[in-house]
Amino acid sequence: MTDIPHYDVAVIGYGPTGVTAANILGQIGLKVLVIERNPDIYGRARAISTDEEVLRIWQQVGLADRLQEDMLPGNAATFVDANGAPFTEIAPVSHGSGHPPQQFIYQPALEKVLRGGVERFPNVDVLLEHECLRVLQDATGVELMLADLRNDAFERVRASYVIAADGGASPTRAQLGIGYEGRTYAERWVVIDTKVLQEWPGHDRLRFHCNPDRPTVDCPTPLGHHRWEFPVRDDEDEDELVTDAAIWRVLNNQGITDTQVKILRAVVYSHHVRFADRWRVGRVFLAGDAAHAMPPWIGQGMSAGVRDVANLCWKLAAVLDGTLPESILDSYQLERLPHVREVTDRAVKVGRLITQRHPVLAAVRDRFFRIAMRVPGIPEWLRDNRWIPDAFYPRGLLAGPKAVASAAVGWLVPQPWVLDEKGSLERLDDVLGGRWTILHVGSPDSWPGWRTAGVPTVRLAGPGAAPAADTVVDTNGTLIRWMRAKGATVLALRPDGVVYAAAGPDTNLAPPPPGMKAASSIRLSEETETLA
């Protein structure tokens, strides 16, 4: 047993979910193994967009600014009728995370940057062209049997915990006997990836062509790419639809010619709505498509997986470090599943809006939305109830109901630009450094239990205040206004920026989570370079 390499965490799968986990865990300083069966990044662009909360996660590992160099900021999503006339728009709005609310991506380029980020960490080993054949758990960890696909060799490794980010067909999920309930839509879709040769009016805007005869998604992607997607009719041959002749018929109907784009590839795929029965079996956790699958209508499939590992990784680190008891890992699915279900539900509803095939119902839809969008408040309601929801956990690793003194608990706090104690302008998360933090306005208090647990205290000062020790200046008052609206003067923030506990001027702050201890530092974040 002593001859078998041992890791803190093994990550199975090196797509966006797995590579994000490798960056987070690598930065924390854990010993990590990544296992990926493919020899290189998958060449076909699948995900097409992301959002400010996900960029905030990538900011924590020093990659957000570099990633945004290869992104295209999103404008309003326009829904047009069979004649190409708009009948409604949904414009992304900032949730306060300090990044553009929506960005279009080119997935191969994004993954290249994320994998480059992992290369900063000598504590992360990456095994490409390796497949995990078996996971076998015992009281102290997980043994993984790996196949080296390059030379038909086998090897064993051990890890304290495993994150299975190995996709919708997850072999790990199958080994664990976990159900994957839901539905696969009978209607198959053709996706066309192109290289832009000459730009055209509106090339950088997302359009949903809600034509009952041929619903089509017209989507910009950065770095000179563009994508179209449309469903396969019952009387059509999938193989014929991906030929150049068939593709050009669709693109020509969109007003696109071969002087404007070059076809790179066309494939057919299915939409899924599925949820794994369990996201945890002992020391093995499912994440990303291995845990859930959603249709693409609001561009959140990849982002959901990134959110998963951002929630899970700091908890694994806390357990491995002895800061928190192992029982906190049960909060992973408890917190993430409601948000994933809400996002999936919204994606399904947007999909129904786009793909209505009955001409009469489509005409009623078009007229209804044209009238409704002139009613005050309806555009905002549509955006807030059909697009990406705010990050909020109603249950999980949070102060108990009797200790909740404000409406702030469970919410991800906004991230303003702040002045640190040296007067440097920084994003809030970069100053707090991914640690538990007591953030307060006004005079400090003893806050029993928090100081014993070694949690730092930071005062939040308003615009115009002078920098000082243990103080950050909220340059625009964004977070101060948010706290005031939530009735809070002090917040206990988790490492992921979610409010664990809050109190107002006349209430007491709840104590730390049961079993919380002062950390023995394993974190390498101070030494982690930002990828330029």
pLDDT tens digits, one per residue of 415-472: 999 999 999 999 999 999 999 999 999 888 878 889 889 999 999 999 999 999 999 9
Place of tokens 């990550």: 11
Q: What local confidence, expressed as pLDDT, does residue 3 receive?
A: 85
Band (199; pLDDT cuts 50, 70, 90): very high
Residues near 359 by beta carbon (within 8 Å), at least 6 away in sequence: 212
Residue 422 has phi, psi (to 5 degrees) of -95, 0
Q: Is 414 helix (H, G, I), strand (E, B) or coil?
A: coil
Q: What local confidence, expressed as pLDDT, does residue 520 receive?
A: 57
Q: Can you tell me the distance from the alpha carbon of 387 to that of 89, in angstroms, rounded to the nearest whole number?
A: 11
Domains of the chain, by residue range, sit at 6-70+104-181+276-339, 401-512
Residue 327 DSSP symbol: G
Band (292; pLDDT cuts 50, 70, 90): very high
CATH of domain 6-70+104-181+276-339: 3.50.50.60
**CATH class, 401-512 region:** alpha beta
pLDDT tens digits, one per residue of 251-284: 998 899 999 999 999 999 888 999 999 999 999 9
pTM: 0.94
pLDDT tens digits, one per residue of 234-243: 888 999 999 9
DSSP-assigned states of every residue in 372-397: HTTSTTHHHHHHHHHSPPP-B-SSSS
Helix, strand counts (H, E) of the chain = 13, 26
Here the tokens at position 363 are 């005409």
Q: Can you tell me the distance from the alpha carbon of 319 to that of 513, in angstroms, rounded to the nearest whole number?
A: 13
Here the tokens at position 453 are 């647990």
Fill in the amino acid letter for 70: D
Listed residue (441, 414, 415) closest to 428, CA to CA: 415
**Dihedral sign of CA atoms 322, 327, 330, 336 in order:** negative
Question: 133 and 146 in contact (C-beta within 8 Å)?
Answer: yes
Q: Can you tell me the distance from the alpha carbon of 11 to that of 27, in angstroms, rounded to the nearest whole number?
A: 15
Judged against a pLDDT cut of 70, whether residue 2 lies above it is answered with: no
